[in-house]
Structure 1
Amino acid sequence: MPPLYSIGKVTVGPALLLGWRPKVEGKENVPAAGGVILAANHLSVADEYFLGAVLPRHVAFWAKAEYFVGTGFRGLVTRSLVTGLGAIRVERGGGRAALSAFDGAIPVLAAGGQVAVFPEGTRSPDGRLYRGRTGVARLALAAGVPVVPVGFAGTDEIQPIGTLWPKLKRGKAVVRFGKPMDFTGRSDDRAEMRRITDEVMAEIQRLTGQEYVPRYAPPRTAAGGAGPATSGEGLAG
């Protein structure tokens, strides 16, 4: 577990649990050991906070590359956070640059770690669940590990897009874990990866009850506002 993450587990984590009192369901579905992908809907920057707080093991998030190269004081703080928390850098330009995320994620999974991904690729602009990108399927097939679907609710009210600090709303956040999904033996052709991704998104929708939108979420610049903290991204596909 990275040093900064370890510090957070005994400081920020307990404070989140005590102050916000998130409701956690199905945590027994998350394997206690071994590599696992945590695939979640994405409503708020707070999703990462609560996921890390409720699980005992280190969670490595995919974080967009911009967080690793920011300038000024805010950029320095963000760079230090994502590096110290053991985040995995994701280039969103496509091609080999985007695939570099696997170079960081697969060793973590092979070593028995947990990697969190948000298949929608960005935070939902309106609370609905958008079409998933196939990065989650590519990673699951390449690493040969199960996918645990995760459903968040209420986190968008705690920290809406564009806000710097979370609002203290006790009992509002809900984190639900579904049963592990094993895709061993499935092919890695484009059509099959789309089917796998859709299966994962269907499980996430079952956990959240969100309205599903069969198209990719609009870029966050179009949706308005950018948060200051890490935001795991699904790879394009």
Structure 2
Amino acid sequence: MFYYFLKFIALGPFLKVVFRPHVEGAENVPAEGPVILASNHLSYADWLFMPLVIPRRVTYVAKSEYFTGKGVGGWLKKTFFSGTGQVPIDRASGSAAAGALKTQLGLLSDGEVCGIFPEGTRSHDGRLYRGKTGVARLTLESGVPVIPVAVVGTDTIAPPGKKFGRLVRPHVRFGQPLDFSRYAGMENDRFILRSITDEIMYEIMRLSGQEYVDMYASRAKEESKKAVATDKGDEQRKLAS
């Protein structure tokens, strides 16, 4: 209930009036029943704008630490994350990945809309990176279709490494549902998982218009940091010589 208060009474109208998000393909999201929304990830604002343009609640999994703080600050943080459609990862599953899968399967079994960012982390340069296969395992184990989603413009509103950028109108595009029931029972086949993930990422690329890079975003970030550090070192040596 608090989620709907936050979305429609407090935060939602403000974001809609200020940013006027444009939506395409919202009719592809079913009015009821479980579905997986797999989106690109350009900014921390993605999880705000994508759910804003459809009437259904979109639930994401988040680190359990966000829900276990003490005192007033801990309560406020827990209330905020719960109210904006996030639930803690079930750490009892042994690992973050297994816990996230278990939590998401529970959400889908309850008929909810589950949001997921297959890249695993935000793109640092606006390009689309290789998807992790968790989304493939989720669709196979749940039997629920995947709707590819592209959020465009949020990296201008809230660029990586900054809290605020420029005021632009974000676009949210929902693709046609992808049904992978033909692979039922093959969730332990890594080649099938990779094939499904790549198909999902291709559709996200088509919707977003991003350049695709066949590398995990986390690795690309590390290589970018190393390159920057090397450039700085070279520049300092030139100045010292």
- Alignment TM-score, normalising by the size of structure 1: 0.83
In the alignment, what sits opposite 1:228?
none
SS of 2:50's equivalent in the other structure is helix
Question: CA shift at 1:152, angstroms?
Answer: 1.0
Q: 1:7 aligns with which of 5, 8, 16?
A: 5
In the alignment, what sits opposite 1:151?
150
SS of 1:115's equivalent in the other structure is strand
Structure 2: how far apart are the matches of 1:37 and 1:154? Answer: 22
Letter in 1 for 2:3: Y
Q: 1:144 to 1:206 in 2, by over 3 A?
A: same
Structure 2: how far apart are the matches of 1:137 and 1:161? Answer: 27
Letter in 2 for 1:51: M
1:49 and 2:48 are equivalent in the alignment:
yes
CA contact (8 A) 1:20 1:168 kept: no
**Structural mapping, 1:123-202, within 5 Å:** 123-164=122-163, 166-167=164-165, 169-171=167-169, 173-186=170-183, 187-188=186-187, 189-202=189-202
Segments of structure 1 that go 5 or more residues without pairing to the other structure are 225-237
Structure 2: how far apart are the matches of 1:221 and 1:66? Answer: 24
SS of 1:152's equivalent in the other structure is strand
CA contact (8 A) 2:157 2:168 kept: no
User: For the aligned residues, what is the CA RMSD?
Assistant: 2.6
Structure 1: how far apart are the matches of 2:60 and 2:96? Answer: 17
Question: CA shift at 1:77, angstroms?
Answer: 3.9
Letter in 1 for 2:105: I
CA contact (8 A) 2:57 2:113 kept: yes
Letter in 1 for 2:107: V
Letter in 2 for 1:141: L
In the alignment, what sits opposite 2:39?
40
SS of 1:52's equivalent in the other structure is helix
Deviates more, 1:42-51 or 1:214-223: 214-223
**What is the number of equivalent residue pairs in this alignment?**
219
CA contact (8 A) 2:123 2:129 kept: yes
* Identity within the alignment, %: 49
In the alignment, what sits opposite 1:108?
107
Letter in 2 for 1:154: G
Question: CA shift at 1:51, angstroms?
Answer: 1.2
Structure showing greater Rg: 2
Structure 2: how far apart are the matches of 1:24 and 1:115? Answer: 19
CA contact (8 A) 2:64 2:89 kept: yes
Segments of structure 2 that go 5 or more residues without pairing to the other structure are 226-241
- Alignment TM-score, normalising by the size of structure 2: 0.81
For 1:117-149, what per-residue CA distance to the aligned partner results, in whole angstroms no more than 9, with x for missing partners? 000000001100000001101111111111000
Letter in 2 for 1:44: S
Q: 1:44 to 1:104 in 2, by over 3 A?
A: same
In the alignment, what sits opposite 2:235?
none
Structure 2: how far apart are the matches of 1:12 and 1:130? Answer: 30
Structure with more of its chain in helix, by fraction:
2
Structure 2: how far apart are the matches of 1:95 and 1:156? Answer: 34
Q: 1:176 to 1:193 in 2, by over 3 A?
A: same
SS of 1:218's equivalent in the other structure is helix
